[in-house]
Amino acid sequence: MFAFSFALLLSLLPAAANIYGLDELTGGCWYRGAGQQYILIWEWTTFFGWMDASILYCAIVIIMIIRKLNLVAKQFDTLDFSSTSRSSSHLPLISKARISSVVRRVMWYPVLPVAQIFGGFTQTYYHINHEIPYVVLLICFIGLSLQGLLNALVFSQDIAVTLSQPSLLEWLRYMLLIKIFSFPKTTSRVNPSNNLSSINSSVGNKLSAPSVLVEKDNSDKQNVVQGSSIELTEKISEEIVTTLRRL
């Protein structure tokens, strides 16, 4: 609540000073009179300064976390596991692997705000020197454009996302196998005797009876073959899914 109120206050202060509006020099709606010294002070006291302070704070916190994790990893090397059981001999290796994995993931988090710091730097550089080098402008646009991609890359390595990936991939593989090896169900078509016309003679009924029996026998054989093929397909699918789980 305090952070929201403070951010709202910083946004309302320039409105009270009547310096919001369309800037003809930059062609954007923010502070009017770009290039003037007091406008630059307003920008840094209400936006750029707090943004850079937040980025610096995040970077310091991340550095402290990385140092702490490295210290814990070194402490595992000094622990004595000789008195423990044989099954626990892999505990230091597993713990160090987990710590290293966490360190690698945490190190990417400062990349997100650092990539956005070039916007304020470019504008301040323009106010002071009245020109922007092409390299600085290119870095600014690349950093702003990569914001969504960096967010996707960093948060895709989050523990919650990585833990859900195996189950999701397993479900997709299972559904794909079901679609590939499943057969469409067919229904047997047997002409009932009540559909026969009453005008047919008994001789005609006797002649048509063997054909009906043959058709029914063929449909039963087809159902038996189809049932056995479905059972075989299910067994093959289960074996493939088991093999994929082992991979």
Say if residue 95 is in the same domain as residue 210.
Answer: no
Say if residue 137 is in the same domain as residue 236.
Answer: no
Question: Among 136, 157, 178, where does a domain finish?
Answer: 157
Q: Which residue has the tokens 């710091």?
A: 117
Q: Work out the average pLDDT over 139-163.
A: 77
How many angstroms separate the CA atoms of 194 and 201, rounded?
Answer: 14
Say if residue 19 is in the same domain as residue 140.
Answer: yes
The DSSP bridge partners found for residue 31 are 20
How many angstroms separate the CA atoms of 157 and 111, rounded?
Answer: 14
Which one, of 78, 74, 63, 62, lies nearest residue 100 by Cα?
A: 74
The answer to whether 50 touches 10, Cβ cutoff 8 Å, is: yes
Of residues 45 and 228, more confidence is placed in 45
**Based on the structure, what is the number of domains in the chain?**
2
- Residue % of the chain over a pLDDT of 70: 54
Say if residue 16 is in the same domain as residue 104.
Answer: yes
- Residues in the chain, overall count: 247
Which one, of 72, 128, 141, lies nearest residue 103 by Cα?
A: 72
Question: Among 107, 137, 157, where does a domain finish?
Answer: 157
Q: Give the residue numbers spanning the domain of 6.
A: 2-80+87-157
Residue 170 lies in a domain: no
Which of 87-101, 111-125, 196-210 shows the lowest mean pLDDT across its residues? Answer: 196-210
pLDDT exceeds 70 at position 33: yes
Say if residue 150 is in the same domain as residue 208.
Answer: no
pTM over 0.75: no
Say if residue 193 is in the same domain as residue 151.
Answer: no
How many angstroms separate the CA atoms of 30 and 47, rounded?
Answer: 11
User: Looking at beta carbons, which pairs linking 100-105 to residues 24 or more positions away fall under 8 Å?
Assistant: 100/73, 102/69, 103/66, 103/69, 103/70, 105/154, 105/157, 105/158, 105/159
Residue 74 lies in a domain: yes
Question: How far from 120 is each of 8, 28, 46, CA to CA, in Å?
Answer: 20, 15, 12
Which of 4-8, 39-43, 184-188, 231-235 shows the lowest mean pLDDT across its residues? Answer: 184-188
Say if residue 119 is in the same domain as residue 227.
Answer: no
Query: How many helical (H) and strand (E) elements, i.e. helices and strands, does the chain have?
Result: 10, 2
pLDDT exceeds 60 at position 110: yes
* pLDDT tens-digit series, residues 36-79: 788 888 888 888 888 888 888 877 877 887 787 778 777 766 66
What pLDDT score was predicted for residue 82? 54
* pLDDT tens-digit series, residues 9-26: 888 888 888 888 887 776
Residue 164 lies in a domain: no
For the chain, the C-alpha Rg in angstroms (whole number) is 36
User: What's the start-to-end Cα distance of the chain, in Å?
Assistant: 49
pLDDT band at 96 (very low <50, low <70, confident <90, very high): low
Q: Work out the average pLDDT over 161-184.
A: 68
Say if residue 142 is in the same domain as residue 200.
Answer: no
Say if residue 152 is in the same domain as residue 225.
Answer: no
pLDDT exceeds 80 at position 126: no
Say if residue 126 is in the same domain as residue 214.
Answer: no
